[in-house]
A and B are shown apart, each in its own frame.
Chain A
């Protein structure tokens, strides 16, 4: 929402309108949900506000807040152009970030399909690799032992029924649980 630039790069010259794209986007999303709130199934009860009242009020307040933010940004922009100051954040390694986000999404999807044990093991190996662990013994030992420790703690001690996966993977997980004396 606020302008944040990257260290080492000069702040880009942006028009006032493009500077407001954040609040504008949230405003239109709020407007969309406001119309959806109008469609909430209601059984008219005389003298009662109904289930749509609260979300509608909040969405109106959200839209007003977007207006406040827009005004703040315009003021801040004019101040910035006077002083030439802008805020900065440390530079981001985007391929690494995208890979980590993809892995987080993938592990959740994989937990259901192939079970926690295999999904977590693969996740740890790949995530640690992306995060910069280069030594293979460290990579595999940390991932393997870490997964086993977590399984002992949550399956054996806390009795948490972690997902075992479908079909073939269900059998594999149970087989591995038996080898590890988890069941």
Chain B
């Protein structure tokens, strides 16, 4: 324990080394901007800085990447709240509540709440990472595809709580999304599916194009085609970010704790990541809420649950990377690349060979989440200025940004075509009250679910009972089934 405290002190001193500190700041700014711009993801930004880290020592390199990671994971929420355009799939649940709060006139507070919950989630999960790294990673290491499927299934089951008004519509939307995820080359058998002989279709439908199209283009078309809108109307005044006070945060303490727990645990499971954490946390919060019917209309608990879980997953995802050398997400995989680029193998030996570096990373991540409040405030202010632009001009430029964002994914116009078509689909889904979020959830989690399910079946000779017989997956599957039947039970209870 004394040794650990000593290393923490060394880590703290190292973090405030000018170069290390500047790297954290720079990383946060790059991350928040990359996360906020649709089509440019936090992962893109981490990959882009990777070659530059070769010129630096391992610690500032990793602090730069951690800054981008923490900032980027939060950044997507800013545009989600302001313009209904989530920067990344993980920011989708934040957008459901945040944008509605914006429409209700609480934009300043919604931005402030998102910043605070992200910072709290990130800080506390980094603290958990520091204290509980080794035992935590051992549990995650014992997971097989069976448990991974159970985690993803839990994420998919949350659709019943997402489809607030109609379970039928939510299920239709979800299964359309999962089906879209099957288009292209099958990962396990290497067979093309529903490609109609087209080369473009073989690469599959990139979920980012679906995301950008359905949310951004659909929203612009929906807003600008209304008869009630005057030409060049400036709909909203300049919003200022308003941080929540202690009383408001205290009222959400259980929501934040639940989001933190879900985020850290799911973040530590390799392959699950912030997106699953965000959806599961939102779903759980809705289930435990006293007013679940209000979710989706602008509810603080929904926003706080999702934001805390997203940043809560960052500390969790670092645990298997640092203690076992297993990257838990795309971002941590690139960070592992940075380790290897410097000739350092992450894993248990890192704690004995270079404890100063490990603890500098721990403290750096803690500090990073605190500074994120300031960076978030400044960046949110910059993006808020855009809200003063007349809606028709803003709409036109949002479409242009989306075109570029979709093209930037693979430098392929096929993605731009998909994005435009999904944009038009998004408009009609809005008009015909077919919920969009379950479709997004299906496209993102569907391929993961298929892959884990089939891998388990191949390994277990098609014995489906294995999902119930293994303790962790059994608990998760039963919880998911409970989640699926919860609305029916609740309705019956209400009728009584």
Chain A residues with a Cβ under 8 A of chain B: 1-2, 4, 22-23, 26, 30, 33, 36-37, 40-43, 47-55, 58-59, 61-62, 65-66, 68-73, 87, 89-94, 96-97, 100-101, 104-105, 107-108, 111-112, 116, 120, 123-124, 127-128, 131-134, 142, 146, 150, 154, 158, 160-163
Contact = CB atoms under 8 A, between A and B. Distances in A.
Nearest to B187: A51
Contacts of B417: 108
A49 B427 CA distance: 37
B400 A123 contact: yes
Interface string B428-445: 000111100000000000
A49 B193 contact: no
A131 B396 contact: yes
A108 B172 contact: no
Contacts of B228: 90-91
A166 B59 CA distance: 47
Interface residues of B, number: 64
A4 B176 contact: no
A89 B217 contact: no
A54 B451 CA distance: 10
A72 B168 contact: yes
Contacts of A26: 172, 176
Contacts of B22: none
Interface in B212-269: 217, 221, 224-232
A50 B400 contact: no
A111 B182 CA distance: 28
Interface stretch (B5-13, B67-75, B454-462): B454-462
Contacts of A100: 221, 224-225
B179 A62 contact: yes
B431 A49 contact: no
Nearest to A76: B166
Contact of A108 (B224, B390, B413, B458): B413
A4 B424 CA distance: 18
A153 to B, nearest CB: 9
A36 B396 CA distance: 39
B36 to A, nearest CB: 14
Contacts of A43: 189, 191
Given A40-B191, A97-B225, A131 B178 contact: no
B403 A58 contact: no
B450 interface: yes
B392 A97 contact: no
Contacts of A55: 179, 182, 193-194
